[in-house]
Amino acid sequence: MKAGGQGGWFKSVEFALQQAKADIARERSERERAERAARAARAKRRGVNFHKPSGRWEAYVYTKGKRHSLGYYKEEEMAAKAFDKAVIKIRGKHAVTNYPPEEYNEEMRSRGASEISVEMFILQLRSEAKRQNKLKAKEDKPKRAKTGYLLFMDHVLDQVKEDLTADLAEGEKLTARGAIVSAIAALWREQDKETKEEWQARAKGLRATVDQRPERAAVEVGPSTSRGGKAVEVDRPGPSKRPMHEGEGEAAKGIAAVAPVRREPLPQKRGPMGPKNPSSIYRGVTFHKVRGKWVANVYIKGKLHELGGYKEEEMAAKAYDKAVIKFRGKDAYTNFPAEEYAEEMRSRGASKISEEEFILQLRSEAKSKGAKTGYQLFWDHVRDGVKEDLTAELAEGEKLDGKVVLCAINALWREQDKETKEEWQVRAKERRDAVDQRPERAAVEGQGGGGGTSQRRGVARREAGRGWRGGGRGTPKGSEAAREALAASHGFGLSSVRFNCGTQDIHLELEVKNSKFHGTHDTILHPSCFDANAGLFEVLLTNEDAVLSDELNHASIIDGIRLCKAERHRYKHLDMRDLEDKLIATQTKRQRLIATDGVFSMDGHVAPLKDIVALANKYNALVFMDECHATGFLGKTGRGTEEYCGLEPGTVDIVNSTLGKAPGGGTGGYTTGRQEIVDLLRQKARPYLFSNTLAPAMVGACSEVSGIGLGRGGQ
């Protein structure tokens, strides 16, 4: 009995607790329901409203007591759709919908869905309206306009099916859709051109009737009302008919009676900028009146990108040029006025130049290195005075901050009036024009071997050329050899490439002399060493190879490497550790070529050739060296970097050099090295195959001078 009584007591307590929890939950739910109803009652606006100033429908929603606009739309349904998406997205985050409580309660009672939330009710209401609109739009949607081929397919489809069915065996069914399409396509190909054009004309006529939905102009307009009248059918153009009311009266008769008025087609839009629409009025640089600055902008893939605002036009033009160079080849549209562009192009006779290249040329002519703007000239003019004034105001021991100077000069510039600023800009432009105009000076004497320049009575004597040994003027034998080559049967020029009829005995003699001088197997002559570098890499390297180039190599080496398809790597200047890292990283390549200058033209540094050759032997790579600035000068006998670094002649696999420096006044270049490499270049080097050979007079002079000027030992 005790156990039973005790158990009953526990059950009664447990039941009481459950009842208390249920009462608390009920009270909480009733309180939450009352709060939701109060929030809904406080919302006096709908989620979609017509905005009179803009003439569009606005969608908005209240979240956490704040009104958020979702945008403006042409139709109410589009705004409602945006509102529904917003309600779904922010549900459970204190989103208060804005449906009028009276309409909500009335609709809820009619549906008998008292437990549904305001959000779910609105979603259901809108989804029903959208479903009905979709069905209506599907009914009103016109049939798809067809092409000539599709019309032809409809015309022959039944006949093709009959023919294919007749060929089937008994009991088989025609199920192969591909066979029907293939048969119709074969018939289409058999049609002649006139028949195809006829079908296309029919299709075009059908498309025109579908696309042209002309409005009918009313000659009379009577009283129109949509209330209290019966709907009548009025003959209207187009695939669907709209019921009109009797109240429209004479307007309906007038609309039905008059002939259709065709609208003019709108011009096709192809984007605001670019080659397809060159008549744009926008430039790459414009003046922004509100901000009072020059704004640079560029169009990329049809979108306007602003590059920033600048104080002067030249600064904005510079930013614009950088953007054009950066985005070239990435659908970058320049914005130069078409009339000025076409006129300037005609005056230059450069009809094939692109618009981007034209703008770059035009802007590059207006600026040069060190050319300053009006603001920079003003800066230089007032900088010292500003520094003195600011230094005088400093306390003892304080230092003048550069930012303070900058702010002070900017303040002075802003204080200047418009005329003063324009005057400074005119001065800057005059200075830029003076810098850009670099007239050539005629020399009346041969090239000397000294340095510096001299000018007397307006005639310049040239003493700053590349003939550092003075071979052109200091060796009369060179000039005499040129005269002998002209006087002999060699002639003035050959007007041919080497492999055709452009090779004479003096060409072969010069190649043999250069090979003996460098200690190599063979040599091939080029019109210049630039051509020699341009034609080397694309012959030796493919996309399976890699080339490793010093970052300060000559421009001709860089351009030659760009012409080949090999993988390109640049190692730090004279950094053998970085070169070795690049060699290790490219071990999977078929062949690797190390390219370097023997003597670097701008810095005068000598390449560490011993270390480069050692790394090449270690990692099985070839070595190419440009010796234009070393041949005839470096080493005991002038044999270049190899001799200077203590290497045997012919250690480097490929050597390119020039005839325009050590001989003095000559021209031409050559490649010397292993026999296999030279033979390959003779067959495939494009400058060698498609450029005229060196003139006989120049070859004779260089051949004579090479025995005097090249090599301090006289060889």
CA 54, distance to chain mean position in Å, is 38
Tell me if residue 260 falls in helix, strand or coil.
Answer: strand
Locate the DSSP E strands across 64-171. Answer: 66-73, 95-96
Cα distance between residue 552 and residue 528, in whole Å: 21
Cα distance between residue 698 and residue 486, in whole Å: 9
pLDDT value of position 622: 96
pLDDT value of position 313: 75
Is residue 276 scored above 80 in pLDDT?
no
* CATH no., domain 43-135: 3.30.730.10
Cα distance between residue 403 and residue 389, in whole Å: 15
Average pLDDT of span 280-289: 56
Tell me if residue 642 falls in helix, strand or coil.
Answer: helix
CB 428 within 8 A of CB 372: yes
Classify each residue of 513-543 as buried b or exposed e, where b means 16 or more C-beta atoms within 10 Å of its C-beta.
Answer: bbbebbebebbbbbbbbbbbbbbbbbbbbee
Is residue 248 scored above 50 in pLDDT?
no
Identity of residue 509: E
Going by pLDDT thresholds of 50, 70 and 90, the confidence category of residue 375 is confident
Residue 254 has a CB neighbour count (10 Å cut-off) of 17
Cα distance between residue 204 and residue 150, in whole Å: 12
Q: pLDDT tens, 232-242?
A: 333 434 433 44
According to CATH, the topology of domain 473-706 is Aspartate Aminotransferase; domain 2 (3.40.640)
Cα distance between residue 526 and residue 513, in whole Å: 15
Share of the chain above pLDDT 90, in %: 20
Average pLDDT of span 489-511: 82
Identify the DSSP state of 620.
T
CB 541 within 8 A of CB 575: no
- Cβ-based neighbours of 543, under 8 Å, separated by 6 or more: 565, 566, 567
Report the candidate in 666, 663, 682, 691 with the shortest Cα–Cα distance to residue 517: 663
Q: pLDDT tens, 1-18?
A: 444 455 565 667 777 778
Question: Environment class of residue 661 by beta-carbon count within 10 Å: exposed (0-12), middle (13-18) or buried (19+)?
Answer: buried
Domains 285-366 and 473-706 alike in fold = no
Cα distance between residue 476 and residue 249, in whole Å: 112
Region of 714 (left: φ > 0; alpha: ψ -120 to 50; beta: rest) is left
Two structure tokens written together for 148: 């000539």
Region of 114 (left: φ > 0; alpha: ψ -120 to 50; beta: rest) is alpha
- Greater confidence (49 vs 550) lies with 550
Give the start-to-end residue ranges of the domains of the chain: 1-30, 43-135, 148-165+178-207, 285-366, 374-436, 473-706
| CATH of the domain spanning 285-366, picked from 3.40.50.300, 3.40.50.2300, 3.30.730.10, 1.20.120.420 | 3.30.730.10
Going by pLDDT thresholds of 50, 70 and 90, the confidence category of residue 486 is low
Helices (H), 519-670: 529-534, 537-540, 555-562, 576-585, 609-618, 641-644
Longest dimension (CA), the chain: 147
Q: Among 77-91, 206-220, 425-439, 667-681, which stretch is predicted with the lowest mean pLDDT?
A: 206-220
Q: pLDDT tens, 578-588?
A: 999 999 999 99
pLDDT value of position 203: 80
Q: Among 83-92, 437-446, 633-642, which stretch is predicted with the lowest mean pLDDT?
A: 437-446
Helices (H), 628-674: 641-644
pLDDT value of position 302: 53
Cα distance between residue 566 and residue 551, in whole Å: 17
Is residue 171 scored above 80 in pLDDT?
no
Going by pLDDT thresholds of 50, 70 and 90, the confidence category of residue 90 is low
Is residue 536 scored above 90 in pLDDT?
yes
Highest mean pLDDT among 132-141, 176-185, 242-251, 619-628: 619-628
pLDDT value of position 684: 92
Cα distance between residue 226 and residue 270, in whole Å: 43
CB 142 within 8 A of CB 210: yes
pLDDT value of position 270: 37
Q: pLDDT tens, 609-650?
A: 999 999 999 999 999 999 999 988 888 888 899 999 999 999
Average pLDDT of span 309-334: 64
Q: Characterize the bridge pairing of strands 669-673 and 522-526.
A: antiparallel
CB 670 within 8 A of CB 511: yes
Q: pLDDT tens, 201-240?
A: 888 777 666 554 444 443 333 343 333 433 333 343 443 3
Number of H helices, E strands in the chain: 27, 21
pLDDT value of position 168: 72
Cα 322 to Cα 41, 69, 375, distances in angstroms: 60, 40, 20
Known catalytic residues? 601, 629, 661
pTM higher than the cut 0.75: no
pLDDT value of position 599: 94
